[in-house]
């Protein structure tokens, strides 16, 4: 019966470690969580270590040696500590303790290497044998200390690690103790057969730990999915609230203007109509921005979140600062009727830098320096941004070539400033660009709104601003002409 039970546990550990390791690798490629990778390596190292205990004696003799046996066991324990760090995200909750674990692993690797060298040079595997028992004792003590330290972590995942590891440690210590006793005394321990087959204690501990860690990883994925769903729901609710608020503001503004219109005398009708149209146009512009901004803000925040998850604090802080500057400028643009050209260029630089991050900085941007003669030029706020956005998303995004976008301007004459926005994207003739979502489409609401804004700006500030869309062999060029009237 002893042999049959030993075979049963051997087969169980053999199959479970192989299958659970495969499960870990599959989920690693799906989730990109390092916890699954370390879990898979732990399972497969158990599988490799278990081969030498083959009850059928078909394993190659080259594997049945102390170097293979002890080194697979040591590697298993080292990967356990890497799983420990990744599974509980100790870099976030316990950064100092994480560094201690990493140093501990490095020290164990060094001692493992030295013990192997000494054993090989002396042609005596007992050095490795003694080191392994010292190694096992040290790792057990360190793991127990770790249990007390991680108790401070609020995450419930710690219970999976503590429970699985505790049962494994008890099983391993029991197996080592009874194995050592049998080796020294050369006799059976008692009439209880399980004590005379101590490897079964190890198998029980391994199986329990593998299954417990598997459930822990499943729980972790479930928590991540819930967090993603919660954030997505909050963003949808925020966007819906912003749209409702905007609609209410638009209705209130329209009603207010309508009431004012009725109150004005007949001889002021022409002027009132002009003012009314201007207000409606600006309100529609605010509406268009509000529809655009949640989408852009969502993507920008996702990029910042990605850097934070990857612990890339420098990039996260950098883009958070850029994002804050862009939001301040957008808010400022909603309060003014015009601003200087350098403010327009500044918002373009911030916008393109953030958007380019989503393209892995594949787009080459070039923006001319502003000369002293051009600095006093006033523009309608954010008049150029829609053209730049269109060039990125409807021109460059669909292009497989090196993506380039340039903004150039100079003084043609004393009162004439020429500005061009040029991209080398797929161009308007492409069928994809003829879709209604293209800003440069002749039926585009955004393009008509921009024309109306320039028309109103020209009338109010006595300017003669205009633009022209030119289809190039590769890409599109927008030519702006800013002419001041005498």
> pLDDT for 96-148, tens place per residue?
888 988 888 888 888 878 877 877 777 776 666 677 777 777 888 888 888 88
Instruction: Please provide the size of the chain in residues.
Output: 486
- The enclosing H or E element of 407 equals strand 403-413
133-137, 200-204, 366-370: which range is least confident on average?
Answer: 133-137
> % helix / strand / coil in the chain, to the nearest 5?
70, 10, 20
Are the C-beta atoms of residues 197 and 55 closer than 8 Å to each other? Answer: no
Beta pairing partners, 363: 403
**Chain-centroid distance, C-alpha 298:** 13
Alpha carbon distance 327, 335 (integer Å): 13
For every residue of 415-463, DSSP letters joined together read TEEEEEEEE-SS-TTSGGGGSTT-TTSTT-HHHHHHHHHHHHHHHHHTE
Task: Report the pLDDT value the prediction gives residue 1, as an integer from 0 to 100.
Answer: 43
pLDDT tens digits, residue range 3-58?
A: 567 788 888 888 888 898 898 899 889 888 888 999 899 888 888 887 777 777 76
- Nearest-angstrom CA–CA distance, 36 and 42: 10
Q: What is the pLDDT of residues 384-420, one digit of tens each?
A: 988 888 888 888 888 888 989 999 987 777 678 888 9
The mean per-residue pLDDT over the stretch 220-231 comes to: 85
The packing angle between helices 157-185 and 126-150, to 10°, is 150
pLDDT value, residue 405: 93
Tell me what pLDDT residue 252 has.
80
CA quadruple 309, 314, 317, 321: dihedral positive or negative?
negative
Higher pLDDT, 469 or 305: 469
pLDDT bracket for residue 435 (50, 70, 90): low
In the chain, domain spans:
2-227, 301-484
- Enter the pTM of the model: 0.46
- Looking at 3.40.1280.10, 3.30.565.10, 3.30.230.10, 3.40.640.10, the CATH number of the domain 301-484 comes to 3.30.565.10
Residue 271 pLDDT: 61
Tokens of 15: 């199959």
Tell me the backbone φ, ψ of residue 170, rounded to 5 degrees: -60, -45
Maximum distance among all Cα pairs of the chain, rounded to whole angstroms: 119
User: What strands lie across the sheet with 403-413, from one edge to the other?
Assistant: 363-367, 403-413, 416-423, 476-484, 463-471
Average pLDDT, the chain: 79
Number of H helices, E strands in the chain: 13, 7
């Amino acid at each position: 019966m002893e042999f049959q039970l030993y075979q049963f546990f051997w087969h169980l550990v053999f199959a479970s470690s192989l299958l659970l390791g495969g499960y870990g690798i599959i989920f690693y490629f799906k989730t990109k969580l390092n916890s699954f990778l370390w879990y898979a390596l732990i399972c497969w190292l158990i599988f490799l270590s278990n081969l030498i205990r083959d009850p059928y004696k078909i394993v190659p003799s080259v594997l049945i040696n102390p170097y293979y046996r002890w080194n697979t066991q040591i590697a298993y324990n080292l990967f356990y500590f890497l799983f420990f760090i990744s599974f509980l995200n100790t870099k976030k909750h316990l950064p100092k303790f994480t560094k201690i674990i990493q140093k501990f692993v490095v020290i164990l690797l060094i001692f493992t290497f030295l013990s192997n060298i000494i054993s090989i040079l002396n042609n005596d595997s007992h050095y490795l044998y003694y080191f392994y028992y010292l190694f096992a004792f040290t790792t057990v003590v360190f793991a127990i200390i770790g249990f007390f330290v991680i108790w401070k972590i609020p995450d419930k995942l710690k219970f999976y690690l503590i429970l699985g590891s505790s049962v494994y440690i008890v099983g391993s210590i029991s197996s080592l103790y009874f194995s050592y006793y049998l080796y020294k005394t050369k006799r059976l321990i008692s009439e209880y057969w399980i004590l005379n087959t101590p490897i079964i204690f190890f198998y029980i501990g391994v199986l329990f730990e593998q299954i417990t860690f598997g459930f822990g990883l499943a729980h972790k994925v479930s928590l991540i999915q819930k967090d993603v769903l919660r954030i997505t729901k909050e963003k949808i609710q925020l966007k819906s609230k912003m749209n409702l608020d905007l609609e209410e503001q638009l209705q209130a503004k329209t009603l207010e203007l309508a009431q004012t219109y009725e109150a004005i005398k007949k001889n002021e009708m022409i002027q009132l109509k002009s003012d009314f149209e201007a207000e409606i146009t600006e309100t529609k512009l605010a509406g268009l921005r509000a529809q655009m901004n949640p989408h852009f803000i969502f993507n920008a925040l996702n990029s910042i979140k990605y850097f934070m998850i990857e612990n890339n604090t420098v990039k996260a802080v950098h883009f958070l600062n850029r994002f804050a500057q862009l939001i301040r400028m957008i808010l400022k643009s909603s309060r003014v009727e015009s601003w200087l050209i350098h403010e327009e260029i500044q918002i373009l630089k911030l916008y393109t830098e953030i958007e380019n991050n989503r393209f892995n900085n594949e787009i080459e941007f070039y923006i001319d320096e502003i000369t002293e003669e051009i600095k006093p030029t006033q523009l309608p706020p954010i008049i150029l941004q829609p053209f730049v956005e269109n060039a990125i998303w409807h021109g460059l995004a669909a292009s497989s070539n090196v993506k380039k976008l340039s903004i150039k301007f100079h003084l043609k004459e004393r009162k004439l400033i020429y500005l061009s926005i040029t991209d080398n994207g797929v161009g308007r003739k492409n069928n994809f660009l003829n879709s209604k979502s293209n800003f440069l489409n002749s039926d585009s609401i955004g393009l008509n709104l921009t024309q109306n804004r320039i028309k109103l700006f020209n009338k109010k500030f006595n300017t003669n601003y205009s633009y022209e869309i030119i289809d190039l062999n590769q890409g599109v060029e927008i030519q702006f002409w800013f002419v001041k009237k005498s």
